[in-house]
Amino acid sequence: MHCILHLIRKGELEPAIRWTQKNYASIHSDVTDQESISDIQSSMKEDDLSRSTGDSGTRLPMASVRSSLANQLRELEFKLHRLQFIAYLQQRRLSEALAYARQHLSRFQRSQSKEIQQLMACFAFASRISQSPYASLFTSALCDDVMQSFRRCFWALLNLSDESPLYSVVACGTIALPHLIRATRLLAARESWSQCDELPVEIDLGKKYKYHSIFVCPVSREQSTESNPPYLLPCGHVLCKETVNRLPRGNARFKCPYCPSEQQVAACRQIHF
């Protein structure tokens, strides 16, 4: 399945569909998403930004996303409008470029003032852009950068990585393997580790590959697992399941280790991060 999703993320839809002709429904949504982004990127290459910015310059949906993604979307929105402005300049449609800047770039004045100043200075070199100090703004590299940003934000809005699952697995394995080999040699004499459901050492995969939170029980100091998940007490504190089961000691009630309130095991609920 990872190989199929890898093909989809790379835009290789035909071989991906051929591989799953008998079970196409399982990848239908992934194919539809990739078709959407491929169509939009094709339009961007042809200087048609109406599908990526909205026919009337509609703002990207930032109100309902987390702050880190909202910042990425805001930056992408500016890049898209900048690209459209540059397209007008390249076509010598100067009056339209100025009107577009007033309508869409003015709200970025505080956060992107330097970039906007450079764009406005391009008017002075409209007849010889390629020989101006701002010639770098009119290369294909700028469009490539926008498409990369668009792709990242597109998949992030779907709570997915812009990289294929196969690539992520290989990259994480490449980072972790040297640490695991060294740990295996050091702990070869310890029989208990091979039967644990956690790694013997903490491996930092970097911020890029941290997809979810990890809970460590404050009482037992154990990391939560599928068989020992985190449980929410009625008082609001969180402990691992095994810790919750140990605390009553034959009684239906037990005292929370972190506050004076009494709890009941039946009232505790498993939580998911």
| Domain assignment present for 139 | no
| Domain assignment present for 202 | no
| Domain assignment present for 106 | no
Between residues 273 and 239, the one the model is more confident about: 239
| Domain assignment present for 63 | no
Cβ neighbour number for residue 251 with a 10 Å cutoff: 11
| Domain assignment present for 244 | yes
Residue of 220, 216, 196, 207 lying closest to 68 (CA atoms) = 207
CATH number of the domain encompassing residue 247: 3.30.40.10
Total domains in the chain come to 2
Q: Is the distance from CB of 49 to CB of 80 less than 8 angstroms?
A: yes
Write the CB contacts of 101 (distance below 8 Å, at least 6 apart in sequence): 85, 116, 119, 120
> What pLDDT, on a 0 to 100 scale, did the predictor assign at position 61?
47
> What pLDDT, on a 0 to 100 scale, did the predictor assign at position 98?
93
Percent of the chain whose predicted confidence (pLDDT) is above 70: 68
Q: Which two tokens stand for residue 132?
A: 């101006």
Q: Indicate if the pLDDT at residue 261 is higher than 50.
A: yes
| Domain assignment present for 100 | no
User: What pTM value is reported for the model?
Assistant: 0.54
Q: Indicate if the pLDDT at residue 196 is higher than 60.
A: no
List, as one string, the DSSP characters of 187-198: TTT-TTGGGSSS
| Domain assignment present for 248 | yes
Please give the residue range of the domain that contains residue 254: 214-273
- Rounded Cα distance, 251 and 253, in Å: 5
Cβ neighbour number for residue 32 with a 10 Å cutoff: 9
User: Which residue's entry shows tokens 């703002």?
Assistant: 59
pLDDT digits (tens, 9 = 90+) for 37-81: 666 666 666 655 655 555 434 444 444 445 567 788 888 889 889
| Domain assignment present for 198 | no
Q: Is the distance from CB of 103 to CB of 59 less than 8 angstroms?
A: no
pLDDT digits (tens, 9 = 90+) for 10-23: 666 676 666 666 55
